[in-house]
Amino acid sequence: MPEPYLMWVAGEERPGRGELIPVEDPATGEIFAHCHAASEEDVEDAVALAQAAFKSGVWSRESRHRRADVLDRSATLLEAELPELIALEVRQTGRAVREMKAQVPSLVRWLKYYASLLRVEQRPLLPTTGKLHNFVDRAPLGVVAQITPFNHPLLIAVKKLAPALAAGNSVVLKPSELTPLTTLRLGAVLKAAGLPDGVLSVLPGYGALTGVALVRHPLVRKVDVTGGTAAGRVIGAFAGANLARYTAELGGKAPLVVFGSADLQLAVNGIAFGSFIASGQTCIASTRIIVQNGVLDTVVRLLKAKTESIAARMGAPSNPDSTMGPLVSAKQLRGVEALVDEAVSGGFANVVTGGKRITGISALDGTDFSKGHFYAPTVLVDASPSERKILKAQLWRKEAFGPVIVVVGFDTEDEAVELANDSEFGLGAGIWTQDLSQAFRVAERIDAGITWVNTHHRNDPSSPWGGSKSSSGLGVENGVEAYEAYTTAKSTIINYASTEEALATDDWFRESAGAVRYG
């Protein structure tokens, strides 16, 4: 067993005073690494160092062009680290290497985007009445806390770090205890790019201890979390108690609507990608497939064939030919099993394909699935379409976070919208149609923060990413909006009237009568 991974604190590796965290390979069940965890004292130290760095101005008052240069160099240095980072990301998440080779290289775009934003951001000049020059700057907030999840460790960390650092903040980041290793590597990369010591700390740890100590710290001026809805509400209460700003990207139960005019094979390919990428462990996974009844049987037939093809080519996540990896943990696997079993045994749904844990030997490469947390990509249909029994199953309502989809039929556009909106969540949604007018109509009516038409899971640094309902979170990631959420507006008003004019109009308490200005 190699030496445990150390925390990254204010520009250097340090041991933690919390218990060591075991890091499991989800494909084999093997503990392949350990990681130091931050205690409450470690959190206190890291926040104090972050606050000192912020107050010193070494980064918070650095020129925007210098900050942009550091972000650009970070992107360049990160690209050189990609082969090792991809391999480590595959090992700790269990995600297929074919996915990681596509996703991980894309994260440098966030660093480059926010570097570019710094160079082109303009200072607004407001149309204030009178001889006043009123301009607005964006000032950093101070120390910000970031909590990232297990499913996209590097991507989500960089998505949060880039705007926060661009704005001039100091950051203390807690990655998921399940997948902390690649995020720890970011500290050294950013330091080598020129980020001053003290500006970034990465503190692995468990949520109930490290996470709570961080988000409730009175010096933390903003909390940014990606995670489940229940955790998001708890963290939000801590942030609210300190009147800290709060951004939360939380749960999802994305509908994907297929109209009769859609190219059905294209739609099925989109469903498979939207549903089974990351083994369904994404907040915008298309888990509720809503299909026009005229093409329902054809879609189910094509989807069954596609899903079984994916299952037949599963193997070791490190195998470039493997299509899908395991779930991240035994706990995650049990949760998916429970939701599917309840839907099927309760008479709410019938299994088209999948519906169980995989325990055999991979035909692709001989991987023993029973050692890992593999679950078959699964398609379910309503057991009683006329009664819509599936709508009563927990699986229709709760976020499974696994490779499981439910297919239901509809007749009219209004019915499709009603089914799509039948959820407490409102993060992502998909529409498949060749009717452009219909695409516009339905997209306007679906209550989701992100709606894709004839595609799914498109993600660009410039495009806002957030929910439209409270169970899916508050605020957005990406774009100018994320950058501004890491700042406060600083308004400066300069009076350029002459001394004579000011004496005549601005003496409120002069002895003679006459009009004076107001506002």
- Residue in 159, 191, 283, 337 annotated catalytic: 283
CA dist 374 and 377 (Å) reads 9
- Residue in 35, 159, 160, 174 annotated catalytic: 160
Rama region for 424: left / alpha / beta (φ>0; ψ in -120 to 50; rest): alpha
477 is catalytic: yes
Provide the token pair at 383: 């057991």
Taking Cα atoms as reference points, which of 502, 450, 453, 455 lies closest to residue 479?
A: 450
- Torsion angle of the four alpha carbons 235, 240, 241, 244, in this order, in degrees rounded to the nearest 10: 100
CB 98 within 8 A of CB 320: yes
CA dist 513 and 416 (Å) reads 70
CB 375 within 8 A of CB 331: no
Strands (E), 259-298: 286-292
Type of residue numbered 111: L
CB 97 within 8 A of CB 316: no
CA dist 103 and 227 (Å) reads 19
Phi, psi of 34 (to 5 degrees): -130, 155
CA atoms within 13 A on the CB side of 127: 0
Residues in contact with 345: Cβ distance below 8 Å, sequence separation at least 6, in sequence order = none
99 is catalytic: no
CA dist 225 and 77 (Å) reads 26
283 is catalytic: yes
- Residue in 89, 99, 177, 477 annotated catalytic: 477
- Residue in 249, 306, 337, 469 annotated catalytic: 249
160 is catalytic: yes
Residues with a known catalytic role: 160, 249, 283, 477
